[in-house]
Structure formats: C-alpha cells, structure tokens
Structure 1
C-alpha cells in the first residue's frame, strides 16, 4: 500500500510540549498544506522492520519506534519494509517529518485494511511527529492541543481555497544543528514563554477569522508576528539560547519589510530552520521571486500554493 502526504507550514506555530511521550503540544496550531513538498511511502511485509529512504537503507530509530507505537495502538502486526521518497529538504525547517509520518501512518493503516477517519489518523501520526497530525488535510488545518491523547487531534478548517501563495526561499538544505525537539526544550525556559502562549492562543482564533474572511493581508501579518515571537523565545532561553537564523535569513527578512513599504503583500513565516516562507498572493508571488533573485542570485526559490490532503495508490 502506498500513501502520499504533503507537508504543511504552520501559520500559528506549535513550539513546546507539555507531554513528550504523547507529543502533546503547549499550543494549538493552524497550518496551510503545500502542493510542492510531499512524501510518498509504501509498506510491505518483511522479515524485519526495514526503512529505505530515497533508495538508501537507513537505520532510523525514530521510524522503528513509531512502528512499535502503532503496534501498541492498532494491535500487533508483522514486520514491514518501509520505502519512502521524500520530496522535502530534510531537517531544514520545511516540515519534512510532517509529510513523512503522515504518509507512513496512512500506508500502514491501509496495509492493515483499516479505513480510519482522518482525525484518528492525526492522533496516531502525532506520536511520530506533532506536525504530521495536520498533513492529512488539504488547504488549512487546525491541530487542537488537547489535554490528553484523545483530545489532541487535527481537523480541517473547512475554509474556501484562497489565492494564497508561499514563496519558499531555501537558505540551506543541510540538517540543522539543533533539532526541533531540543529547540523546544530550550525555548520553554524563556521568561517570555507564558506570554507567548497566551498571545498564540488569541492568534489561533484570530487566524481562523482571517482565513474565513479571506483576508490574506491579515493572515500574513498574524503569521509573521507569531513566527517572530516564536524565534524570539529561542534567543531569550535561559538554557543555552540559540537561533536558527543565518545572515541570509536576516537579509531576506529585511527585504520583505522593504517590499511591504513598496506596497507588495509579503509576510514571513519561519519554522525550525533558516528557510523563509513568504506569504503572499498568487498574483504577487512572481514579483517577489524577481526581487529576491536580483538581491540574492544564489537563492533557491519555489512558489507553493495550497495542497491536497493524503491520498492512496
């Protein structure tokens, strides 16, 4: 059985865990699924669990551990060979684990003959990667933080498709030095963390209204404020402060401000990594690409739009 799931970019971020075993987040989050970045995964019976990523056999402890979690949740099943093609730069802040664990969850459950609701699939995938809970849904999705395993799940916002686009500026595709898990552990030591949680809860509600009102300018402004607030936590952590930003990240942020001053709709959102996603409209996106290409000729740029939910072959 083969499943394809697309990555998603959180417009309202998840950054911190209140239960590491269950992957329960400290914040609810809201994302846009992207068409350009995805993972296709197939599973088949084998003599032992085996993981092949992009044609290379990989000793992935995280995948093996997740398969054992699925066995606990779904009932024991025979060893599987997992073959995965990842069309997302890994560990560079483009949510490669989201599409990867969503595709794996879908492939395993369908191999077992289970046709589970997407909300249930989101609970299962959350144990492998929190962001994966949102990748089962196309367009906009919400992940409710919940208070336990049953109440922490994702669902579609059921919003209309908007002429929204993301210009993805790939600053670096190398694995990041500080993993998301480690970054969250440090961030929660910031004296500003509780204030960010409270603000994020309000932004989660405001973002839903902005999307339903089809106000892309408001969507961008909320997303940028939420993202920059998240990254400020990393800098103010009392335990080993850090940043994912590079000089090129900072330059792109400055260019985005310049574009706004010129009347171009452009807002930044950045996950755990140096890469910048610029929220704009499908009409303005080519103009932004031209400006960035002129300012930073070596920059790799792609335009992504709203993507679909999980699919099966």
Structure 2
C-alpha cells in the first residue's frame, strides 16, 4: 500500500533557478458521488467520475528563486488580472503540501489561471483549478528529480490536487477515474485517483455531457460545509455502504454497456446526494424549481422515445445530461426545443468525456 510518506522526497538531484510551465486540467462529473470526508481530505466513501473535455482550467506557472525568508511568495492572476480573494485558498494549499514539495518557499510564483467555462457558472472550478496547479508544481519537481517516472508524477499530482480540493484528484489522468478505497478495485486509494482499469464498452466511448446552467449564483451552502454536515448525519453510514455497492455495479455496467442499468445508478446517485442535503441538520436545498422541471422533462422524453438519456447533478442546481454519442442530435433537439428556457440566460455547455491534464 502506498502511504503519504511515499510522496515526501528524500532530496533533489538537480537545481533550477527559474522557469515556467503551462497545463490544462479538466472538470469532472461524478457518477457515484463522494459526499462526506475525514481529516486531510480523505473521502468517507469511494467515487467514480467521467473526466470532461471542454470544461477546463488553463494555468501557467512561472517561478524564480528568491531570498529565503521562510514565507510562501506568490502572485495570483485570474484571466490576467490580480485575484486577491482567491489567495487565502492557495496559501492554505501551499501550507498543506509543503511537506511533500519542500522547495515551495524557495521560489516566488506567478500563477495565471483562466477557465474555458463562464466564471461562477456553477461548474466546479476548484477541481480543475487545483488539478492544473498540482501538475504545474509537479513539473518543477520533475526538473529537480529528472528520473521521476510518469506514473509517480501522475499519482503524486493527484495526491497533491486532493489536498486542495477533494474531487480535483479525479481531474489529473484518465477518462474514467476512481477515487477512494474500494475492495473490488485493485490499486484504489483514498490518497489519489486511479484510471478505471476495466475495458470500457463502446456505448460509453465519447459519452456526451451537456450541462444546463440553471443557476449561476453563489450556493447558499458551500460544498465544504455540506461535507461536514455528514459527520452526525442520521443516514451517513447507509449512504457510504450504498456508494460501495453502486461503485461495484457501475464498474460492471461500464464493461457490459448496459445503458438502462447505468441510468438507474447514475440518477439514483444524483438524487441521493441531494437527499443527504435535505436530511442533514441544518437541512438545505440546492435544487431550484427549474432543476426539477428539467428532470421531469428528461423522464418524459425517455419514456416516450426510449432514448437512453439521463441526468446527474453536482452539489448545485445545474443539470448534467448524459447520453451516448449516437443519439446526440435527438437530445440536442430536446434541449433546444424544451429545456433551454429553464437555463439562466438560455446557457448550456456541450461537453464529452476527455482524458485528463495536458501540458501545453
């Protein structure tokens, strides 16, 4: 078993004065949801996600040796402009990962980041953002330790990303990624995400995800607070058991190509996630009336046409519509004719399965 200690470097063989890197890392959408966590961003249950292709964060990182003063030193730009309100999150991230990247206090960093999707669109940018920063930082460590293997690079990048945002560990490598200890998944770990190792049925190749932007405002309860509310939740243990069972089922489904069973698990998981919010104390609702309207229309359309289209939800009001590539035209017709009116400013984003972080 790999432990945290395996990610602490014993020393570096090379040195570097300055440089710059640029990476993109995608968002991801969980099929089996992670909700609830222990200390150090350890998930209370395993999860599995589709990596997206279009919705991503592009981050460039330039760095230069500085006088050692015992402090982290960085400037943060969002779309080229200073973004000071995000600095505390990066500061906290650096504090969490310093043990694993001991060079952090030796450099001044300039982090310039942008998203390919509208800001505060309700698409989780913390996952793509933290993953993009983690792979950039690992690029520096690879310069300091050139003999580093690609596997170690990806594993440690996922491990670091998790310490910034839990689900970010699923945005580093792979089109389908599992995170969290699961007895039927070889190599699975609470510390980092791993690529789904089974053979994926052709039904799920180029699987489509159209994201309907129902509400782009700030959520009234953040995901961090939501995770914490699972600690004394009356249904938490049953939920964690259910996630283990559903992960076993969905692994089989991804190999067999059974779309009907896929729909059952994915929609049930989405609704269970929101059921946990409805039944926590304090209780809260992140769905909006338009979220429910869209769900009902998807169900009606599916019943009438037998087209295997389904929805999933994140911890928010937006609806991800998942469907095979071969029914794309019919589903987009449904969206344009019936669903776009329930989106804020008629906005939606067409995406599909992608493959993880890329060096640019």
TM-score, normalising length from structure 2? 0.80
In 1, the alpha carbon distance for the partners of 2:46 and 2:32 equals 8
Residues 1:217 and 2:260 aligned together: yes
Q: Give the 3 Å change call, closer, same or farther, for CA 84–194 of structure 1 in structure 2.
A: same
SS state at 2:286 partner = coil
Match of 1:203 in 2: 246
SS state at 1:142 partner = strand
Match of 2:11 in 1: none
Of stretches 154-163 and 165-174 in structure 1, the one that deviates more from structure 2 is: 154-163
In 2, the alpha carbon distance for the partners of 1:220 and 1:162 equals 16
SS state at 2:237 partner = helix
Q: Give the 3 Å change call, closer, same or farther, for CA 89–28 of structure 1 in structure 2.
A: farther
Unaligned 5+ segments in structure 1 are: none
Give the one of 214, 227, 232 matched to 1:171.
Answer: 214
In 2, the alpha carbon distance for the partners of 1:37 and 1:249 equals 21
Give the one of 54, 77, 80 matched to 1:52.
Answer: 77
Shift of 1:88: 3.3
Residues 1:32 and 2:32 aligned together: no
Q: How does 1:1-313 map to 2 (within 5 A)?
A: 1-19=21-39, 22-45=40-63, 48-59=73-84, 60=86, 61-77=88-104, 78-90=107-119, 92-112=121-141, 113=143, 115=148, 116-145=152-181, 151-158=190-197, 159-160=199-200, 162-237=205-280, 239-262=281-304, 263-298=306-341, 299=343, 300-313=347-360
Instruction: Check the 8 A contact 1:6/1:310 in 2, yes or no.
Output: yes
Match of 2:13 in 1: none
Unaligned 5+ segments in structure 2 are: 1-20, 67-72, 183-188
Q: Give the 3 Å change call, closer, same or farther, for CA 229–267 of structure 1 in structure 2.
A: same
- The CA deviation string for residues 159-181 of structure 1, in whole angstroms up to 9 with x for no partner, is 43624211211112233221100
In 2, the alpha carbon distance for the partners of 1:257 and 1:190 equals 30
- The CA deviation string for residues 131-180 of structure 1, in whole angstroms up to 9 with x for no partner, is 1101112311100248xxx7522110034362421121111223322110
Instruction: Check the 8 A contact 2:122/2:215 in 1, yes or no.
Output: no
Q: How many residues align?
A: 307
In 2, the alpha carbon distance for the partners of 1:53 and 1:248 equals 31
SS state at 2:229 partner = helix
Shift of 1:41: 0.7
Q: Give the 3 Å change call, closer, same or farther, for CA 285–221 of structure 1 in structure 2.
A: farther
Computing the radius of gyration from Cα coordinates, the structure with the larger value is 2
Richer in helix (by share):
2
In 2, the alpha carbon distance for the partners of 1:207 and 1:162 equals 15
TM-score, normalising length from structure 1? 0.91
Shift of 1:204: 0.9
